[in-house]
Amino acid sequence: MKSEPKTTQLSSWLKTENDTDFTIYNIPFGIAELPDHSIVAVSRIGDKVINLYALQRDGYFDSFNHDLDGLFNSPNLNAFIGIGKKITSGVRSRITQLFEENTDEVSDKEAFSRKYLISAESVKMQLPVKVTDYTDFYSSIEHAGNVGSMFRDPQNPLLPNWRHLPVGYHGRASSIVISGTPIHRPKGQILPAGQDTPVFSATRMFDFELELAFVVGQNTELGSSVPVDKAEDYIFGFLLFNDLSARDIQSWEYVPLGPFLSKNFGSVVSPWIVTLEALEPYRTKGPVQEPEVLDYLKTDGLHNFDINLEVYIKPQESEPSLVAATNFKYMYWNISQQLAHHTVNGCNINIGDLYASGTISGPTPGSYGSLLELTWRGKNKLKVGDTERAFIEDYDTIIMRGYASKEGARVGFGECETTILPAK
């Protein structure tokens, strides 16, 4: 087993707040609409967005033996991600060099800032990738155990297959939206308690699901598989992911094939892709997997990540209230196992695919990643400001945050936010 990774100490000439998610250790990637309405690839440090198209245009990336023309003034990062980690990691390192405290390249820092940096508040972040496909896993043993206890058998909450494979289902790519996009309350069939016939209604049990999603960075051919020990070569980075759910619609429709209308009406992602390289120092051991998994799922080393995660609910006339705090390190099935299992049957993958973790829950009630668990299906209401919540109400705003912190180095995701509007 590898030892816990260390952080390399860095400092930047661009001073930032101590608690910023966007330190020099991060350097994430995104797509932004600038004040002049141009849409370009960007990175971020502190409260400044870095115009990567302008840096490329002015020759700062000329040292790479690759033509980068057209990659940074595209409406998405798919083509950039697709050139491979050798180049994308190099671009990230190059950006870091330009902002290091002792750089010799940026002599006039004020002029450099005026030309290449923009206030984060003045840009409109876009969906960073064209989402080609989307899969949602069910990889938290705490979440699966809670749900199994609620809906099946508290003595045997996990189905027989759960400890043998990463359970998942194919979701809807077209309804994945960027943070800040409002979502209307969905409608569908609901079976009222004690009745045999469903009714058509807007959901009465609107929920969030706290997740992370990884972005695929390589294509594969139909019929090929990604070996578990090579899986991270195919993963570019992570986003926060809010997989919104209609629990009452879900409980009626999901047998025998699984979620459908209860999930496909909207999922919300954060705008910044945090790379695997940025998260390298925060690797950690995952839970012991018992029984032993099949050979194609066996991993060695540190494949979980110590990422703190928080969920806030903000009623329309109140301040946000923290309702859940957990950590990505609790995940039973890691990202390498998820991708290896997804492709072991020959399923091809594409650059821009999103693979969501499933709800991330921890071992204690305050660390559960959904209202379904936090309120135990609505039985125990949560205090939210001066009011209570069993499930999400109209005009509530859901805010998710995530960050890793170690040895004074912080890497975060910013916010994933959405406001729930009444059903149309």
Residues 6+ apart with CB under 8 A from 259: 169, 171, 245, 250, 253
Q: List the catalytic residues.
A: 143
* Closest-CA residue to 166 (of 133, 147, 140): 140
Split at pLDDT 50, 70, 90, the class of 1 is: very low
Query: For the whole model, what pTM was predicted?
Result: 0.97
* Closest-CA residue to 71 (of 26, 102, 39): 39
The tens digit of pLDDT for each residue in 168-226 reads: 999 999 999 999 999 999 999 999 999 999 999 999 999 999 999 999 999 999 999 99
Helix ranges (DSSP H) in 254-298: 276-279
Mean pLDDT across 121-133:
98
Q: Does domain 134-421 have CATH number 3.90.850.10?
A: yes
**H-run or E-run covering 237:** strand 235-243
Q: Is the peptide bond before 160 cis (omega within 30 degrees of 0)?
A: no
* Closest-CA residue to 275 (of 309, 301, 239, 226): 239
- 326 pLDDT exceeds 50? yes
CATH superfamily of 30-126: Fumarylacetoacetase, N-terminal domain (2.30.30.230)
- 4 pLDDT exceeds 80? no
Split at pLDDT 50, 70, 90, the class of 6 is: confident
Where are the domains positioned within the chain? 30-126, 134-421
Report pLDDT for 2. Answer: 53
Half-sphere exposure of 130 (CA within 13 A, CB side): 10
